Amino acid sequence: MSISYFISDVHLGFMSLEEERSKEDLLLNLLAEITEKNGDLFILGDLFDFWYEYRHVVPRGFHRTLAALDRLTSSGARVEYLIGNHDFAVGDFFRTELNIPVHRRDLELYLQNKRLYLYHGDGLAASDTGYRFLKRILHNPIAQFVFRWIHPDIGFRLARLSSHTSRNYTGQKDFGPSDGILEEAKKRINDGFDVVIMGHRHVPSFQRIEDGCYINLGAWLDDAPYAVLEHGEIRLRNRTGHDFHL
């Protein structure tokens, strides 16, 4: 039986070069493990702190991760990418160059006799009204066309300033007891899903809800959490491969 891995909110590209190298090393170790175990990988958004594809330009600084993903798919692994709020402008690079399908919203799966619902989680909080409006603008083809005409060095500088503000807001935000992400998870489990996995909140969480469970993958900076589905059992683990104690 196959083994499936789930990661989210790595946010490559916003720290110092030394810190980024250390963070990326953890990711590369996990990708090597997935390759060795013939596993599959599902990326639930915000792999990059910002990603934008011009027609002939892709961001620099991520070649090790992109090469590792290429090795993973070349080995026959299934890798799928759900976009988040920081990497919403992913184009066809991952599909054409790395053979990785990109999903613009959610993904429903049936793995190891389990029905799974995957989503990054942005825009679900009740207090996210402003973000939902902004999201419609950012995802608008006309807005993206205009941004494409800005020189990449200027465009990326502006985008990183915006990403920094958004990341700090998400990390400090009190989602409250009526957290829309949790409410969505409960709804999906009531609809018959066995496992709901999301990210975005930057707080790792594992909750049993009736006959199902909800996992929030947290942020990669917090002990590099990731989820593993093996032999029909889902676990939330840390960088050492041990179960995450919450």
Q: Is 188 inside a domain boundary?
A: yes
Give the pLDDT mean for 43-58. 84
Domain span at residue 219 reads: 3-237
How many domains does the chain fold into?
1
Contact 13, 62 (CB under 8 A): yes
Residue 51, domain CATH: 3.60.21.10
Burial group, residue 27, by CB count within 10 angstroms (0-12, 13-18, 19+): buried
Give the pLDDT mean for 227-240. 93
Q: Is 118 inside a domain boundary?
A: yes
pLDDT of res. 173: 52
> Angle at the Cα of 223 (from 216 to 113), degrees rounded to 5?
40
Q: Is 244 inside a domain boundary?
A: no
Report pTM: 0.85
pLDDT of res. 115: 98
What is the rounded average pLDDT for all residues in the chain?
Answer: 84
Q: Is 52 inside a domain boundary?
A: yes
Give the pLDDT mean for 139-157. 67
Q: Is 246 inside a domain boundary?
A: no
Q: Is 10 inside a domain boundary?
A: yes
pLDDT of res. 49: 87
Q: Is 242 inside a domain boundary?
A: no
Tell me: pLDDT of 129 over 70.
no
Q: Is 21 inside a domain boundary?
A: yes
Residue written as token pair 């941004």: 147
- Which is more confidently placed, 241 or 10? 10
